[in-house]
Amino acid sequence: MKYIGLMSGTSLDGIDAALIHVNSDNSIHFEHSISAPLAASLKADILRLCAESPNEIELLGKTDREIGRVFANAALQLCRSADIDPADITAIGSHGQTVRHRPPDAGRHHSSAFTLQIGDPNTIAEISGITTVADFRRRDIAAEGQGAPLVPAFHAAVFASKSEERVILNIGGMANISLLKQNGEVTGFDTGPGNVLMDSWIHTSLKQDFDRDGNWAASGTVNTPMLQWFLQTPYYAQTGPKSTGREHFNNCTIEEALENYPSVAAEDIQATLLELTARSICDAIDNTSKENASVFLCGGGSANLALRKRISELLPNRIVTDTNALGIPPDWVEAVAFAWLAKQTLNNLAGNIPAVTGARGPRILGAIYPA
């Protein structure tokens, strides 16, 4: 059976659409993929919804439908590109676009925790003519979990090895790790910012969406006092299960740093933000895995050459590569994961790992919207 996964992450750099084939032995074959851009106006509306703003409900309703249309068209574009009849697709797994993530933590009891991903699945199913599975995170939240990250369950299903311990490092807007032990145990959590602060600062300073290859960061020098200030953020000291988002790491984070360190050059701030991402990731890996565990990168941040180089330097005793070595290109792992989660839902199988999210137990995730 064939499934499509649709993913738009915190970075807002486009919609990833991936086509997979699930074989009779339940193994997965990655077949095809495309990336569809987000219109500047839609991206601006999403960013407005990620923070408190006037007239939120009206904007939410309009944007929810618009993202649904864009997601549906991305799925149909993928079918055309792969020369596949949409009728041959079993289901779409749609992550949606996160606009608010308030998981249970020290300051929020699980009864008031929530997470919200928009991109109306009714609209996706209606336009595409394909059964759509969506709203994966809220069942885990209802079961007193974090609602994220969900990808470790997929990582365990397709990337785990009995011969070595592996760490799957996903660097999107936020970064998360999945620790896959040889005995089958799985843990994982969000480590903190991935690309989000670097993207925010280069957009503020140079009006560019991202720092290609990390070249701007590489032109600067890390400001150690500023770095240490960032690393005092309480989130880094928390142990898992934990998850985060733009609510904690955003442009206001940088503005607060600038109030304390107003004379730091723009390129040095970018270098410091890259070091923050690398250090917070590598500290988390060192604190949770064996010293010789192999590290496999995925997500948009895996293309940041300066960041990859720094991660390798901070993990000198480990093999650091990307998921190409495991059969799935790094840019498409998350989209494939949500295709896999749709398969889990339709087969009444759990999609979460309680050791990762903190949920009371395994849960079947998502709601089904028939074609």
pLDDT tens figures, 21-54? 999 898 999 999 999 999 999 999 999 999 888 8
In angstroms, rounded to a whole number, what is the distance separating the alpha carbons of residues 239 and 241? Answer: 6
The mean per-residue pLDDT over the stretch 60-75 comes to 98
Q: Please report, as a single letter, which amino acid is at residue 71.
A: F
- Average pLDDT of the chain? 96
What topology is assigned to 152-326 in CATH?
A: Nucleotidyltransferase; domain 5 (3.30.420)
* 327 confidence band (pLDDT: 50, 70, 90): very high
Q: Are 185 and 355 in contact (CB under 8 A)?
A: yes
Domain ranges of the chain: 2-147+332-369, 152-326
pLDDT score, position 105: 80
- Strand-pair partners of 297: 169, 322
Q: Going by C-beta distance under 8 Å and a sequence separation of 6 or more, which residues neighbour residue 256?
A: none
For the chain, percent helix, then strand, then coil, each to nearest 5?
45, 20, 35
Least confident of 38-42, 48-52, 162-166, 175-179: 48-52
In this prediction, residues 52-63 reach a mean pLDDT of: 93
362 pLDDT more than 70 = yes
- pLDDT band, very low/low/confident/very high, at 118 (cuts 50, 70, 90): very high
Pairing relationship of beta strands 89-94 and 2-7 according to DSSP bridges = parallel
Q: Is the pLDDT of residue 87 over 90?
A: yes
Query: Do 23 and 29 form a contact (C-beta atoms < 8 A)?
Result: yes
Q: 125: pLDDT confidence band, cut at 50, 70 and 90? A: very high
> Which one, of 311, 321, 305, lies nearest residue 217 by Cα?
305
Q: Residue 340: its pLDDT value, please?
A: 98
Report in angstroms the alpha-carbon separations of 240 from 35, 248, 276, 355: 32, 16, 19, 9
Q: What pLDDT is recorded for position 110?
A: 82
pLDDT tens string 221-268: 999 999 999 999 999 999 999 999 999 999 999 999 999 999 999 999
> What would the pLDDT profile of 276-314 be if each residue is shown by its tens digit?
999 999 999 999 999 999 999 999 999 999 999 999 999
Q: For residue 184, is it left (φ>0), alpha (ψ between -120 and 50) or beta?
A: left
d(CA 75, CA 142) in angstroms, rounded, equals 29
Task: Give the pLDDT of residue 109.
Answer: 77
What is this structure's pTM? 0.95
Q: What is the mean pLDDT of residues 184-209?
A: 96
Give the span between the Cα atoms of 72 and 126, in whole angstroms: 8
Predicted confidence band of residue 202 (pLDDT cuts 50, 70, 90): very high
Rounded distance, CA 232 to CA 247, Å?
Answer: 17
pLDDT at position 12: 86
345-358 confidence digits (pLDDT tens): 999 999 999 999 99
pLDDT at 244: 95
Average pLDDT over residues 161-175: 97
Percent of all residues in the chain with a pLDDT value above 70, rounded to a whole number: 99
Burial class (CB in 10 A: 0-12, 13-18, 19+), 319: middle
The answer to whether 2-147+332-369 and 152-326 have equal CATH topology is yes
Residue 237 backbone phi and psi in degrees, to 5: -80, -15
The residue assigned the tokens 């799925």 is 75
Has residue 189 got a pLDDT over 70?
yes
Is residue 13 within 8 A of residue 300, CB to CB? The reply is yes
Model pLDDT, residue 106: 60
The string of pLDDT tens digits covering residues 92-108 is 999 999 999 999 986 67
Percent of the chain predicted with pLDDT > 90: 94
Task: Give bridge partners of residue 97 from the DSSP assignment.
Answer: 118
Whole-number Å distance between alpha carbons of 191 and 193: 7
Let me know: does 320 contact 307? Beta carbons within 8 Å. no
Q: Rounded CA gap, 81 and 130, in Å?
A: 16
- How high is the pLDDT of residue 108? 73
Q: Which CATH number fits domain 2-147+332-369: 3.40.50.300, 3.30.420.40, 3.20.20.70, 1.10.10.10?
A: 3.30.420.40
| Residues in CB range of 190: below 8 A, 6 or more apart | 148, 149, 174, 175, 176, 242, 243, 244
